[in-house]
Amino acid sequence: MIRRTSIRRAVWAATSSALVLVAAGCGLHDDEKPLNTLAPKGKQADEIYSLVTPVFLVAGVVFVLVMGAALYLAIRYRRRKDDVDGVDEPIQRHGNTPLEWGWTILPALVLAVLAIGNVKTIWTLENDQRDAPMEVEVIGQQWWWEFRYDVDGDRKPDVITANQLVIPAGTTVRLAIQSNDVIHSFWIPMLSGKKDAVPGRTHHWAITAAEPGIFQGQCTEFCGLSHAYMRMEVKALSQADYDKWIEHQMAAPEEPSAGSEAEAGKQVFFTKCASCHQVNGYDDTGKKLDTHQPNGDYRGAQHPLIAGNAPNLTHIMSRDKFARNMFQLYEDGAKLEGVLPEGDPNAGTLGSWLRNPPGMKPMNADANRGMPNLQLPEDEIRKLVAYLTLLK
Amino acid sequence: MALVNARTPLELPSGAETTVRRPLGVFQRPVRPTGWRSWVFTVDHKKVGIMYGAGSLLFFLVGGIEALLIRTQLARPGLKVLSADLFNQVFTMHGVTMIFLVVMPLQAAFANYLIPLQIGTRDVAFPRLNALSFWIWLFGSIFFNTSWFLGGGADGGWFNYAPNNGVIFSPGHGIDFYAVGLQIIGVASLISAVNLIVTVINMRAPGMTWFKLPVFTWMALVTQFLLLFALPVIAVALFLLTFDRLYGSNFFNASLGGDPMLWEHLFWIFGHPEVYIMIMPSFGIVSEIIPVFSRKPIFGYPFMVFSGIAIGFMGWGVWAHHMFASGIGPMSVMAFSLSTMFIAVPTGVKILNWLATMWGGRLRFSTAMLFAIGLVTMFTIGGLSGVTHAFAPADTQQTDTYYIVAHFHYVLFGGALLAIFGGFYFWWPKMFGYRLGEKVGKWNFWLMLIGFNLTFGPMHILGLQGMSRRIFTYSPDQGFDFWNMVATIGAFTIAVSVLVFFANIITSFRKHRRTQEVVSGDPWDARGLEWMIPSPAPEHNYDEIPVVTELDEFWHRKYGHDEEGHLVRIASAEEVSQKGDATNVHLPSPSYWPIVLAAGLPFIGYGVIYNLAWAVLGGLLLLAGVFGWVMEPSTDPEADHGLHGGDDLEPTAEAAFEEAAAGEGDPQAELEEAPR
Does this complex have an ipTM over 0.90?
yes
Q: What local confidence, expressed as pLDDT, does residue A25 receive?
A: 62
Whether omega before A143 lies within 30 degrees of 0, making that bond cis, reads yes
Asked whether residue A81 carries a pLDDT value surpassing 50, the answer given is yes
Which chain A positions have a beta carbon within 8 Å of B525's beta carbon?
85
Q: At what angle do helices A261-268 and A378-388 cross, to 10 degrees?
A: 100
CA-based nearest distance B502→chain A, Å: 28
Please judge whether A34 and B477 are an interchain contact, meaning their C-beta atoms are less than 8 angstroms apart. Answer: yes
Pair B244, B69: CB distance under 8 Å:
no
* Nearest CB partner across the interface for A33, out of B161, B376, B465: B465
Minimum Cα–Cα distance from B257: chain A residue? A200
> What is the Cα Rg of chain A in Å?
29
Per the rule left: phi > 0, alpha: psi between -120 and 50, beta: everything else, A259 is left
As a whole number of angstroms, the distance between CA A252 and CA B668 comes to 100
As a whole number of angstroms, the distance between CA B347 and CA B163 comes to 35
Whether omega before B536 lies within 30 degrees of 0, making that bond cis, reads yes
As a whole number of angstroms, the distance between CA A16 and CA B359 comes to 23
Phi, psi of A210 (to 5 degrees): -65, -45
Minimum Cα–Cα distance from B388: chain A residue? A55
Helices and strands of chain A, counted as H and E runs: 8, 12
Please judge whether B261 and A63 are an interchain contact, meaning their C-beta atoms are less than 8 angstroms apart. Answer: no
Which chain A positions have a beta carbon within 8 Å of B395's beta carbon?
193
Q: At what angle do helices B260-294 and B402-411 cross, to 10 degrees?
A: 40
* Nearest CB partner across the interface for A90, out of B362, B398, B464: B362
- One-letter identity of residue B581: D
Q: What local confidence, expressed as pLDDT, does residue B670 receive?
A: 45
Which chain A positions have a beta carbon within 8 Å of B466's beta carbon?
33-37, 189, 218
Return the biggest CA–CA distance within chain A: 104
pLDDT beneath 50, residues of chain B = 1-7, 641-652, 654-656, 664-665, 667, 669-676
Which chain B positions have a beta carbon within 8 Å of A226's beta carbon?
84
- Dump pLDDT digits (tens) for A300-310: 666 678 888 89
- Strand blocks (E) in chain A: 134-141, 144-149, 159-162, 164-168, 173-179, 184-186, 195-197, 203-207, 213-218, 231-237, 321-322, 327-328
Listing DSSP states for B484-544 in one string gives HHHHHHHHHHHHHHHHHHHHHHHHHHHHHHHH-----S-TT---SGGGGS-SSPPTTS-SS
Return the biggest CA–CA distance within chain B: 92
Number of A/B CB contacts below 8 angstroms equals 290
Return the SS3 of A174. strand
CA-based nearest distance B545→chain A, Å: 27
Please judge whether A362 and B300 are an interchain contact, meaning their C-beta atoms are less than 8 angstroms apart. Answer: no
Minimum Cα–Cα distance from B259: chain A residue? A200
Q: Cβ of A257: how many Cβ atoms within 10 Å?
A: 10
Please judge whether A185 and B564 are an interchain contact, meaning their C-beta atoms are less than 8 angstroms apart. Answer: no
Please judge whether B464 and A36 are an interchain contact, meaning their C-beta atoms are less than 8 angstroms apart. Answer: yes
Q: What local confidence, expressed as pLDDT, does residue A298 receive?
A: 85
Cα dihedral B357, B358, B364, B368 in deg (nearest 10)? 70
Q: Cβ of A282: how many Cβ atoms within 10 Å?
A: 19
Question: Which of A285, A292, A296, A221 minimizes the C-alpha distance to A251?
Answer: A292
Contacts of B111 (CB under 8 A, 6+ apart): B49, B192, B196, B220, B223, B224, B281
Q: What local confidence, expressed as pLDDT, does residue A85 receive?
A: 79
Grade residue A117 by pLDDT with cuts at 50, 70 and 90. Answer: very high
Contacts of A297 (CB under 8 A, 6+ apart): none
Minimum Cα–Cα distance from A82: chain B residue? B362
Whether omega before B163 lies within 30 degrees of 0, making that bond cis, reads yes
Return the SS3 of A186. strand
Q: What local confidence, expressed as pLDDT, does residue B644 receive?
A: 42
Type and span of the H or E element at B9: strand B4-11
Q: What local confidence, expressed as pLDDT, does residue B676 receive?
A: 42
The average pLDDT across A258-270 equals 92
Which chain B positions have a beta carbon within 8 Å of A227's beta carbon?
468, 470-472
Grade residue A29 by pLDDT with cuts at 50, 70 and 90. Answer: confident
Please judge whether B396 and A198 are an interchain contact, meaning their C-beta atoms are less than 8 angstroms apart. Answer: no
Mutation target among B341, B398, B572 for the A interface, most CBs of A within 10 A:
B341
Q: What local confidence, expressed as pLDDT, does residue A368 receive?
A: 86
Which chain B positions have a beta carbon within 8 Å of A119's beta carbon?
334, 337-338
**Average pLDDT for chain A:** 90
Q: Report the Cα B533 to chain-centroid distance in Å.
A: 23
Listing DSSP states for A225-254 in one string gives TTGGG-EEEEEEE-HHHHHHHHHHHHSPPP
Question: Which of B40, B23, B5, B4 minimizes the C-alpha distance to B590?
Answer: B40
Grade residue A335 by pLDDT with cuts at 50, 70 and 90. Answer: confident
Instruction: Give CA separation, B608 vs B140, B173, B201, B239, B618, in Å.
Output: 14, 11, 38, 12, 10
